[in-house]
């Protein structure tokens, strides 16, 4: 690529567009910024004051029940290991046998992966008896019976029999049937209130990232519509929810109601430290027929694997936050299949990402070539631009702009073409921002000093905490920042300083921009940092190839001269800009004439 003698307008436009949109995406979706977290915490405290989330330890649910009186039943298959507590007849422990959880003490994923344990989940059906007393099944003591792959929990309340029948199925499913007999003699309610308190356990490396990905998810309208809420409250008074789930970064606990939940609402509260990330509370009603509660449900304790989620045909694949519309489509139909194809060759995840980067760069190479060719053309006409700038230095700025645009038009230079590379790279950036921390196939895959490509690498540990960086420095993030700086130096060239007082120094801004990436990438997935390190290293190689082997400045100069000789037709954009400038000039002349008359 030819060295630039200054910053042309197409570069300014491209840089501004890219900066604005990327920073917008980065700060909107990376919600671990201190001020955002403080505001969110204040909102949560307000909401929790209205409807507090208070998961109750088992020992305090029923003061008449001692821990020794609580019985535990077990079911297990190749995927799930379950425990059921006689207190409340609830699922009291869920272990996914094919996965491991991260252990902060050993810095390894070597702990049993328990979605539910230590009473972090509590649920029950609530109704009022005929005296007005509130009854919740989670306070009742059930008697368990195990037969094959099923556990039947039976409780009695004032002559009414309540049964919970759990059947362990394949594909991370637990069939859950609720049956009652004689409940009509106890209550006059025609619906029961299902209440579920859930504290999300820390399972991954990178607390802030996992906390951000922990939220409510639910489907309605016969499984056709999907919604999520990662803020403080969820409220669906008019929809019938087909299922409600608590999504974590790579796993989810979901309960499906065959006849749906109505008048649903919930809230959540972030937990700043410890083994739990968030407290979530859900409340929704289920119908009772003839004052009896006979409803069918299904529990899903599942990994967020796209292939698996699609097999359920419940719209579960929407739980995976791959991005909306076009962004999600890029991940589902391009990046994921490409990763799986290359990984099938038997190479490690880091080298798969390396090859993915090369493929993407090859696809984008025609656009990059046009961008660098435009830069070379701008260098050739730079003397004419400088001459026009000097000629109209003391004149109306509008005339100087018109003269500059005329030079561009005669040379056949399309200023707007410089925006194309920036616009193309924005959706790719955001798609990968969603891809790396959510693709379960990368979970636990190490590469060099990164033990898990879905989390940050912390080879450099600090004895203190730096704001926005934390207590570590990511080597991949540092390497990525360095190559971006080198690329910036190579593309900025001998950039001119601002000629007008008060104008920002674009060269300084272009150097600051890569530094901000260090703060962003330091706590992001190391796979993302590795991808952008490779991507920008390839950019540097492409620049060198274009500069020394492809672009010929003499030929470009000849092409520009030939363009000047050709009759020019004014494009719609150029015509619109010219008309706007002419109108602005007329208004300025009118204002000057009016001022002269007043004097």
* Highest-scoring range by mean pLDDT, 26-35, 72-81, 102-111, 180-189: 72-81
User: Which stretch of 246-255, 276-285, 541-550 has the lowest confidence by average pLDDT?
Assistant: 541-550
Residue 211: its H or E element? helix 207-212
| Global pTM value | 0.75
* Highest-scoring range by mean pLDDT, 93-102, 271-280, 510-519: 93-102
For 405-420, how does the pLDDT look when each residue is reduced to its tens digit (9 = 90+)? Answer: 666 665 556 655 556 6
Q: Give the pLDDT score at 123.
A: 94
Q: Give the pLDDT score at 525.
A: 87
**215-220 and 173-181 strand pairing:** unpaired
The two structure tokens encoding residue 22: 């990327």
Residue 108: burial class (beta carbons within 10 Å; 0-12, 13-18, 19+): middle
How far apart CA 589 and CA 599 sit, in angstroms, is: 16
How far apart CA 234 and CA 438 sit, in angstroms, is: 23
**Taking residues 309-318, what's their average pLDDT?**
92
How far apart CA 558 and CA 565 sit, in angstroms, is: 11
The two structure tokens encoding residue 424: 């193309």
Beta-bridge partner residues of 264: 236
Q: Give the pLDDT score at 262.
A: 93
Q: Tell me the torsion sign for CA atoms 517, 519, 520, 525.
A: positive
Longest CA span, the chain: 102
pLDDT reading at 216 higher than 80? yes
* Highest-scoring range by mean pLDDT, 90-94, 366-370, 431-435: 90-94
**Taking residues 148-166, what's their average pLDDT?**
92
Percentage of the chain surpassing pLDDT 70? Answer: 67
According to the 3-state scheme, what is the secondary structure of 63-88? Answer: CCCCHHHCCEEEEECCCEEEEEECEC
Q: pLDDT band at residue 364, thresholds of 50, 70 and 90?
A: confident
pLDDT reading at 26 higher than 50? no
**Taking residues 126-131, what's their average pLDDT?**
87
**Taking residues 186-210, what's their average pLDDT?**
89
CATH topology of domain 50-321: Beta-galactosidase; Chain A, domain 5 (2.70.98)
**Taking residues 566-586, what's their average pLDDT?**
58
Q: pLDDT band at residue 173, thresholds of 50, 70 and 90?
A: very high
Q: Give the pLDDT score at 140.
A: 92
How far apart CA 532 and CA 538 sit, in angstroms, is: 10
The two structure tokens encoding residue 5: 């003698």
pLDDT reading at 384 higher than 70? no
Beta-bridge partner residues of 485: none
How far, in whole angstroms, is CA 201 from its chain's centroid?
A: 19
How far apart CA 173 and CA 167 sit, in angstroms, is: 9
Q: Give the pLDDT score at 483.
A: 87
User: Which stretch of 210-224, 245-259, 285-299, 367-381 has the lowest confidence by average pLDDT?
Assistant: 367-381
Q: Give the pLDDT score at 477.
A: 85
How far apart CA 528 and CA 404 sit, in angstroms, is: 41
Short-list 45, 98, 56, CA closest to 197: 56
- The larger pLDDT score, comparing residue 344 to residue 571, is at 344
pLDDT reading at 574 higher than 60? no
Give Cα separations from 202 to 248, 274, 459 (angstroms).
9, 8, 21
DSSP code of residue 447? B
pLDDT reading at 90 higher than 90? yes
For 440-495, how does the pLDDT look when each residue is reduced to its tens digit (9 = 90+)? Answer: 988 988 888 888 888 888 888 778 777 777 777 888 888 888 888 888 777 665 44
Is residue 89 within 8 A of residue 157, CB to CB? The reply is no
pLDDT reading at 20 higher than 80? no
Residue 370: its H or E element? helix 349-391
For 30-67, how does the pLDDT look when each residue is reduced to its tens digit (9 = 90+)? Answer: 444 344 444 444 554 444 444 443 433 333 334 455 55
Q: pLDDT band at residue 199, thresholds of 50, 70 and 90?
A: very high
Q: pLDDT band at residue 377, thresholds of 50, 70 and 90?
A: low
The helix/strand/coil state of 129 is coil
The two structure tokens encoding residue 326: 């076009």
- The larger pLDDT score, comparing residue 202 to residue 13, is at 202
**Taking residues 311-339, what's their average pLDDT?**
89
How far apart CA 315 and CA 218 sit, in angstroms, is: 9
User: Which stretch of 172-176, 229-233, 239-243, 405-409 has the lowest confidence by average pLDDT?
Assistant: 405-409
How far apart CA 47 and CA 339 sit, in angstroms, is: 42
How far apart CA 460 and CA 481 sit, in angstroms, is: 16
For 239-253, how does the pLDDT look when each residue is reduced to its tens digit (9 = 90+)? Answer: 999 999 999 999 999
Give Cα separations from 555 to 307, 480, 551, 559 (angstroms).
53, 35, 8, 6
Half-sphere exposure of 537 (CA within 13 A, CB side): 13
Percentage of the chain surpassing pLDDT 90? Answer: 30
Contacts of 248 (CB under 8 A, 6+ apart): 115, 200, 203, 210, 213, 214
Q: pLDDT band at residue 207, thresholds of 50, 70 and 90?
A: confident
Strand ranges (DSSP E) for 445-524? 460-466, 470-473
Mean predicted lDDT score pLDDT of the chain:
77
Q: Give the pLDDT score at 403.
A: 64
pLDDT reading at 15 higher than 60? no
For 494-508, how does the pLDDT look when each residue is reduced to its tens digit (9 = 90+)? Answer: 444 444 444 445 556
């Amino acid at each position: 690529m030819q060295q630039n003698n200054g910053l042309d307008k197409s570069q300014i436009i491209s840089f501004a567009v890219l900066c604005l949109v990327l920073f917008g995406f980065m700060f909107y979706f990376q919600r671990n910024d201190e001020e955002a977290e403080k505001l969110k915490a204040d909102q949560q405290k307000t909401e929790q004051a209205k409807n507090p989330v208070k998961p109750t330890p088992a020992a305090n649910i029923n003061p008449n029940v001692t821990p020794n009186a609580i019985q535990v039943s077990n079911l297990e298959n190749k995927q799930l290991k379950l425990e059921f507590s006689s207190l409340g007849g609830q699922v009291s422990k869920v272990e996914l046998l094919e996965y491991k959880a991260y252990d902060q003490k050993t810095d390894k994923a070597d702990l049993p992966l328990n979605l539910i344990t230590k009473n972090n989940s509590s649920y029950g059906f609530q109704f009022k008896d005929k005296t007005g007393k509130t009854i919740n099944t989670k306070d009742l003591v059930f008697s368990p019976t195990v037969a094959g792959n099923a556990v039947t929990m039976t409780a009695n309340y004032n002559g009414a029999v309540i049964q919970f029948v759990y059947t362990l199925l394949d594909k991370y499913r637990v069939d859950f049937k609720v049956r009652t007999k004689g409940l009509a003699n106890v209550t006059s309610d025609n619906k029961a209130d299902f209440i579920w308190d859930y504290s999300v356990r820390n399972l991954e490396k990178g607390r802030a990232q996992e906390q951000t990905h922990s939220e409510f998810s639910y489907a309605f309208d016969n499984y056709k519509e999907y919604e999520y809420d990662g803020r403080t409250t969820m409220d669906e008074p008019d929809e019938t929810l087909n299922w409600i789930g608590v999504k974590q970064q790579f796993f989810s606990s979901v309960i499906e109601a065959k006849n749906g939940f109505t008048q649903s609402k919930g809230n959540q509260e972030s937990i700043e430290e410890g083994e739990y990330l968030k407290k979530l509370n859900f409340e929704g009603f289920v119908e009772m027929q003839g004052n009896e509660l006979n409803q069918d449900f299904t529990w899903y304790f599942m990994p967020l694997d796209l292939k698996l989620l699609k097999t359920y045909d419940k719209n579960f694949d929407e739980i995976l936050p791959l991005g909306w519309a076009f962004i999600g489509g890029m991940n589902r139909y391009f990046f994921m299949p490409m990763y799986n194809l290359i990984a099938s060759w038997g190479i490690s995840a880091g080298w798969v990402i390396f090859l993915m980067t090369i493929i993407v760069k090859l696809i984008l190479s025609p656009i990059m070539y046009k961008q660098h060719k435009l830069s070379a053309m701008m260098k050739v006409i730079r003397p004419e631009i400088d001459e026009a700038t000097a000629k109209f230095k003391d004149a109306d700025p509008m005339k100087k702009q018109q003269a500059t645009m005329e030079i561009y038009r005669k040379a056949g230079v399309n200023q707007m073409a410089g925006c194309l590379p920036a616009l193309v790279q924005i959706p790719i950036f955001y798609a990968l921002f969603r891809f790396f921390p959510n693709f379960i196939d990368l979970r636990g895959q190490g590469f060099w000093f990164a033990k898990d490509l879905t989390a940050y690498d912390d080879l450099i540990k600090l004895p203190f905490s730096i704001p926005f960086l934390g207590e570590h420095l990511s080597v991949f993030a540092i390497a990525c920042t360095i190559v971006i700086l080198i690329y910036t130096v190579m593309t900025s060239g001998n950039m001119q300083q601002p000629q007008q007082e008060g104008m920002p120094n674009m060269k300084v801004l272009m150097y600051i921009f890569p530094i901000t990436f260090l703060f962003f990438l330091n706590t992001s997935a190391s796979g993302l940092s590795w991808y952008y390190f490779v991507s920008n290293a390839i950019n540097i190689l492409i620049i060198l190839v274009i500069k020394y082997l492809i672009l010929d400045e003499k030929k470009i100069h000849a092409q520009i001269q030939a363009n000047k000789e050709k009759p020019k037709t004014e494009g719609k954009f150029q015509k619109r800009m010219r008309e706007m400038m002419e109108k602005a000039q007329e208004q300025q002349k009118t204002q000057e004439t009016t001022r002269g008359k007043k004097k």
